[in-house]
Chains A and B, each alone.
Chain A
Amino acid sequence: VRFCCGGRGHGAAAGPVVHGVASRDTGPWRGGLWALCLVALGLAGCSASEKPRDNPFARLRPKLSSTSHARFFEGQTFSDGPSVTRACLRCHPSAAREVMKTSHWEWLGEPEMLPGRPQPVRIGKRNVLNNFCLSIESNWPKCTVCHAGYGWKDASFDFSKEELVDCLVCHDRSAQYAKAEAGLPAKGVNLLAAAKGVGKPGRDNCGACHFAGGGGDAVKHGDLDGSLARPVERLDVHMGKLDFDCTECHRTKEHRIAGKMISVSATQTLPIGCTDCHATEPHKNARLNAHISTVACQTCHVPEIARMRPTKIAWDWSTAGRDVPGANPHAYLKIKGSFVYRQRLIPEYRWFNGNVDRYLKGDPMRPDGITELNPPLGDIRDPTARIWPFKVHRGKQPYDKKHQILLIPKTVPPDGFWVTFDWDRSLRLGSQASSLPYSGEFGFAATEFVYNVTHMVARKSEALQCTDCHGETGRFDFAALGYPGDPAAVGGRFTRRMVRPAPAEIRRSTLGMAAAIGRTGGQP
């Protein structure tokens, strides 16, 4: 183009040209403009013919600085938490009402349909059993340390009082705030300093509860622990390299925070995903993109969890109550039983379509087998399901031998198991508080609880490679996933054999894949 343009301009300037605009004085300028247009069109054509690049930064929101609240509280004193909330509500009158509609306040989600149940149910931390401290019912004061409110110490807590909303737990940026039993501010907390230091929530605000779930740092999730408060790049590329706060992905509107944890929710009503920022086919390698309809991004990009701090993978309540002098507190505690911790844990892999089933209070359990409390839904025939990494926590919990249901013990003082070490009494108290039948005969049964892994995203250079999953030493149990063999050898869900797919096939979207498998009746 430049050559043509130069030639034409030269011709126009050099001598009289009979035809065209170049014979006028403005000829060279016009020629130049035409050439520029041609170059622009060419560039546009080139860029249009290429696949859109993965440019996640285009979808990031600019980081806004928080308004300093220091001068708003000059001369004020706060006697308790609600007094701080009242002060906040003077300027943010709708904030408490917004919070009170969320699961962070109610500890209950929206009504959800669960498999095999005729009616939608509302589940949340308030009414489900888990694999750690088992249930909050009868144990409120200890569990509600992490409630975004003040004073939930028993079943009579008033969820309608706006002043009981705890603004500071999420917004305190002074690092001077901490909560104690029943969610009340811990002794010695300077509430005025905390109120003056409020701002947009950071990782340590969310982490105050989410890093320390299950009774200690790194216990519950495996992919969420205190190391993410000040992460390095190799721990999590988003938080470490790019300094993301949690709210960068868990986007929030009117205090409703996107993203659901399958430990307390069965469906994804406010889903978040990698494709909120990344392209649906972000890899340059077509074969990698061909995995997207079957393998979750996290499967390859979170090769291991608990990278810095060990996480608890097993908890056996049946051994609790014995005196074991000198026992390693990370292996045994009299009040809690036996544990197994693992660092750099390789997740387990299961099909997952975003939903889970849920064991609910009073459901029948399997005394001789494993009762799965939140089994992920989906299998190889489910086109919406993909293979996800999970942290699987295996436990052993008390159950009623006669009614064959899982029981809820009262563990907290003054009369719970942690003081009396009397299982029968604790189970009786817990059953009364949770309205469960208790026959007086109890045993301990195996349970399983899963978390889908989605944090601790490694650098792309650390992502899994072919041989990490395929081949003799691969980490996948393809037989358990429903494959007749290694799909690299026998073919996957959407291919009869792993041959080089035609370009058109590669570009088929996940939806197209789903439609295709739908037509074939889900047969691989």
Chain B
Amino acid sequence: MKRQILAVLGQVLVVGLVAQAGADQGQRGAAGEGPRAGAAQPPPVTLARLGPPPKVPPRLMHPDVPLLDDKGNPAPQSRRPLSLTRSCGSCHDVAYIGRHNYHAQAGLGEMTAPQAAPSGRPWDTGPGLFGRFDPIVGRFLTPPGWRPFDMGTADWIRVYAPQHVGGGPAEWSRFHDGRLGTKEPVGPEDPDAFALDEKTGKPVRWDWAASGTVELNCLLCHLRRPDNRERIQAIRRGEFRWASTATLVSTGLVRRAEQGYTWDLKQITPQGMVSAQRLGLGHARTENCRQCHGRACRCTDPVVFESARDNGAIELSGSIFSPSRMSHSGMNLKDKARLTSPWDVHAERLLTCSHCHHAPNNPAYDLGRAGRSQPLAHLAFDARRALESEYLYRPDHDFVKGFVAQQRARRDLAGTMRDCRDCHRPEVVHRFLPFKERHFEKLACTACHVPKVYPPTRQAIDATLLRPDHKPIVVHGGVTGPADDPASLLVGQEPALLPHAPKNAPYRLKPHLLHASWFWVSGSPPRPVRRVDLERALFEGSAYHPAVLAALDTNHDGVVQEEELRLDTKEKVWRIAKRLRAVGVEEPRIYAELQPFTVSHGVGHAAHATRDCTVCHSSRGRLCTPTRLAPYAPGGVMPALVADSETALPGTPEPGPAGDVILQPMRCPSGIYIMGAQRLHALDWLGMLAVGGTLVGAGAHALLRYRASRARKREGTSAQGGTHEH
């Protein structure tokens, strides 16, 4: 707002200065010319200064940056793609940064053989983005020799361009130590050398020499305004080596050309140098993280939800890390006027992502937790740390992180970041809370401090069928109406409290969103049915195949309505499976799984936290009421929890009364007992026994005493009689 005002006032000032010159001339003419009669526009304000002086931008300490190509020559002059390995590598150890960087590695160093991945899925080949199947994407990284071929490395780079920063598997082969494309294919369907031709469904050789590889893109996180969209487009076009250059389009230094990109040489020295300020280089900001990780920003602008047009992360975890108030947002929130808390109070209190998720060797943030690790258990704090110069040369990009169910790659880093109690003193402010230590031990702070998640999140994805636009059916939670429609009312959803038990750490109840997925698998060992095969099975041209139409069109109106687009009968499943078999899919069957997402962000003001004990401690509490997982179960298949979430379900998914799928909590799951919420029958019997026993004991005792007193009376009477006799 302020900037807009300044911009407008600035324009007024410029125009005004021009007008002032005219006015001065008029005055010098001693009023002989007089006012300009009939002028169409009013004379503007001609104030010398309408706003405060512009801020002097802070001077960056970063020196000028050489823009070099892969040969080490100035890229603007050589007209070759920018090489950040060369440019940034002039001062920083880029190779180290690339290796110690789970954003880049994406699980490359943790790949496994098929059927040995932590997820338990037979087709997964790793825990990270590179190797772990994502039902939303619907494509799986084909292991060598597996058929049919679905996704090679080049496909993966293009599909995951919005989520991957480059480097790692986008640059280096998973089979050898060299770069992609530097060795001959190991087989006819080497996934490094082939890519899927989506028209034919067959693998074709990928020309790495033409595309190049996607190097680690430092600019994406360290540029003030990186052009991520242009970067993604360059990658999607297969111009991998231009990805870094494309990121600079928004700076005005480069622009798109017929072949690659061209530089604006006026802004760059003949040596290829440009100032860091001109580039907009600096620390990674929350806005940089936001490009991939949900709706995070430090700005105070109202949050507007863009739903499907937004990135996918927000639809999974519901994270909005923004300081602006929910009541100020552009979203159609229920009871919006009362939601006066910021989307995340930490963002409102000036924290950025990197304040918590910092580089572990950053000397400013090094926790110095010597006491928590062996063999320095005798130290409470280790004051030794990297020098600033050492850190700047080799900043460790394996950022610290917490315990969440959705973490996959570098699980060994879980719990390395500060947790709430490292910054807060909950015992000071939770005076009202009984059994504080017990609550803090077993309950994550977010369990109460994130009582609701307001952005609509993906609740279920049904990829057993495709919509007419060839996309799977997605059901959102927390919204009444289509998630894409700004008029839909966002009612929010209470995340399920699930016990999360990381390795070597006790369980804690944490809020989770549960994402259920249904998709086809085939063969043995099973693997996901390729999306291209599903499309071929379901569609003929742009319309549904007649056999599919006949199977789904239950009201025989010739159109598959939205409510008809579901496999809710055995016959429908059989017919679609038949179509899949017809296009060559072996043994098609429906697979369903449940992926929990721990809710860690979206912490509101304390006043908005749950303070009502009965929210948990009652028979209708959060842990006792069923959680709705999906409106229906395709093929009647109940989803099973993925094996690598380190989270337990306090019940089993089962069909609900309305045909939906619910998570029915058990009476006493995993040894958890919550007072007021659950009943242990043995304990009840024991209590009743104790009370009954006490009553019986007291009664028996009273009876005995009564009888004893009567006996004593009788004895006394007889004794007195005897004396008289004597």
Taking beta carbons and an 8 Å cutoff, which residues of A are in contact with B? Answer: 313-316, 318-319, 321-328, 331-332, 337-340, 342, 344, 346, 348, 369-370, 394-396, 446, 461-462, 465-468, 470-473, 475, 477, 479-480, 488
CA distance A446 to B47 in the complex (A): 6
Cross-chain contact of B48 among A323, A446, A461 (Cβ < 8 A): A446
Q: How far is the CB of A220 from chain B (nearest CB, A)?
A: 17
Give the most central of A315, A322, A462, A479: most B CB within 10 Å. A322
B49 on the A face (CB < 8 A): yes
CB 8 Å contact bits of B281-301 with A (1 = contact, 0 = none): 000010000000000001110
CB within 8 Å for A338 and B1 given contacts A314-B50, A467-B350, A479-B55: no
CA distance A86 to B187 in the complex (A): 112
CB within 8 Å for A324 and B49 given contacts A342-B5, A466-B323: no
Q: Which residue of A lies closest to B297 (CB)?
A: A473
User: Which residues of chain B from 321 to 354 have any CB-CB distance to chain A below 8 Å in the complex?
Assistant: 323, 325, 327, 340, 342, 347-350
State whether A340 touches B12 (Cβ < 8 A). Answer: yes
Give the most central of B23, B38, B47, B48: most A CB within 10 Å. B47
Cross-chain contact of A477 among B5, B49, B52, B350 (Cβ < 8 A): B52
Q: How far is the CB of B29 from chain A (nearest CB, A)?
A: 14
State whether B5 touches A465 (Cβ < 8 A). Answer: no
State whether B323 touches A316 (Cβ < 8 A). Answer: no
Q: How far is the CB of B301 from chain A (nearest CB, A)?
A: 8
Cross-chain contact of A467 among B12, B38, B347 (Cβ < 8 A): B347
Inter-chain contacts of A326 with B (CB < 8 A): 40
B44 on the A face (CB < 8 A): yes
State whether A318 touches B23 (Cβ < 8 A). Answer: yes
Q: How far is the CB of B324 from chain A (nearest CB, A)?
A: 8
CB 8 Å contact bits of B467-495 with A (1 = contact, 0 = none): 00000000000000000000000000000
11 contacts between A and B (CB under 8 A): A314-B50, A315-B45, A325-B40, A332-B43, A338-B45, A339-B45, A394-B50, A396-B45, A465-B325, A471-B350, A480-B52
Inter-chain contacts of B19 with A (CB < 8 A): 319
CB within 8 Å for A461 and B50 given contacts A328-B42, A338-B43, A477-B55: no
State whether B300 touches A370 (Cβ < 8 A). Answer: no
State whether B42 touches A324 (Cβ < 8 A). Answer: yes
CA distance A467 to B299 in the complex (A): 8
CA distance A446 to B16 in the complex (A): 13
Q: Which residue of B lies closest to A287 (CB)?
A: B349
State whether B45 touches A314 (Cβ < 8 A). Answer: yes
CA distance A470 to B323 in the complex (A): 11
CA distance A348 to B2 in the complex (A): 10
Cross-chain contact of A324 among B43, B45, B340 (Cβ < 8 A): B43
The 10 lowest CB-CB distance pairs between A and B, nearest first, are A332-B42, A461-B340, A322-B35, A319-B43, A467-B323, A327-B42, A446-B48, A316-B45, A338-B45, A324-B42
B36 on the A face (CB < 8 A): yes
CA distance A337 to B55 in the complex (A): 30
Inter-chain contacts of A321 with B (CB < 8 A): 35
* Extra contacts besides A467-B350, A477-B55, A479-B55 (14): CB < 8 Å: A316-B47, A318-B20, A319-B19, A322-B35, A322-B43, A327-B42, A370-B49, A394-B50, A396-B46, A446-B49, A465-B323, A468-B300, A470-B350, A472-B285
Inter-chain contacts of B61 with A (CB < 8 A): none
CA distance A475 to B52 in the complex (A): 12
CA distance A346 to B9 in the complex (A): 14
Inter-chain contacts of B41 with A (CB < 8 A): 324, 327
CA distance A322 to B41 in the complex (A): 11
Inter-chain contacts of A338 with B (CB < 8 A): 42-46
CA distance A348 to B9 in the complex (A): 14
Q: How far is the CB of B300 from chain A (nearest CB, A)?
A: 5
State whether A473 touches B42 (Cβ < 8 A). Answer: no
Cross-chain contact of B50 among A340, A465, A468 (Cβ < 8 A): A340
CB within 8 Å for A466 and B350 given contacts A395-B47, A473-B300: yes
CB within 8 Å for A467 and B47 given contacts A461-B327, A475-B2: no
Q: How far is the CB of A487 from chain B (nearest CB, A)?
A: 11
CA distance A278 to B8 in the complex (A): 39
State whether B348 touches A466 (Cβ < 8 A). Answer: yes
Q: How far is the CB of A385 from chain B (nearest CB, A)?
A: 19
B37 on the A face (CB < 8 A): yes
CA distance A488 to B349 in the complex (A): 10
CA distance A325 to B50 in the complex (A): 26
State whether B327 touches A323 (Cβ < 8 A). Answer: no
B56 on the A face (CB < 8 A): yes
Q: Which residue of A lies closest to B35 (CB)?
A: A322
B39 on the A face (CB < 8 A): yes
CA distance A331 to B298 in the complex (A): 36
CA distance A16 to B212 in the complex (A): 101
Cross-chain contact of B298 among A323, A446, A471, A480 (Cβ < 8 A): A471
Inter-chain contacts of A318 with B (CB < 8 A): 20, 23, 46
CA distance A326 to B19 in the complex (A): 19
Inter-chain contacts of A466 with B (CB < 8 A): 323, 348-350
CA distance A331 to B44 in the complex (A): 8
Inter-chain contacts of B285 with A (CB < 8 A): 472
CA distance A332 to B42 in the complex (A): 6
Q: Which residue of B lies closest to A467 (CB)?
A: B323
Inter-chain contacts of B347 with A (CB < 8 A): 467
State whether A467 touches B39 (Cβ < 8 A). Answer: no
Inter-chain contacts of A313 with B (CB < 8 A): 50
State whether A394 touches B350 (Cβ < 8 A). Answer: no
Q: Which residue of A lies closest to B348 (CB)?
A: A465
Inter-chain contacts of A332 with B (CB < 8 A): 42-43
CA distance A91 to B50 in the complex (A): 53
Inter-chain contacts of A325 with B (CB < 8 A): 38, 40
CB within 8 Å for A346 and B43 given contacts A322-B36, A466-B348, A477-B52: no
Q: How far is the CB of A448 from chain B (nearest CB, A)?
A: 8
Cross-chain contact of A488 among B5, B48, B350 (Cβ < 8 A): B350
Inter-chain contacts of B44 with A (CB < 8 A): 319, 338
State whether A396 touches B47 (Cβ < 8 A). Answer: yes
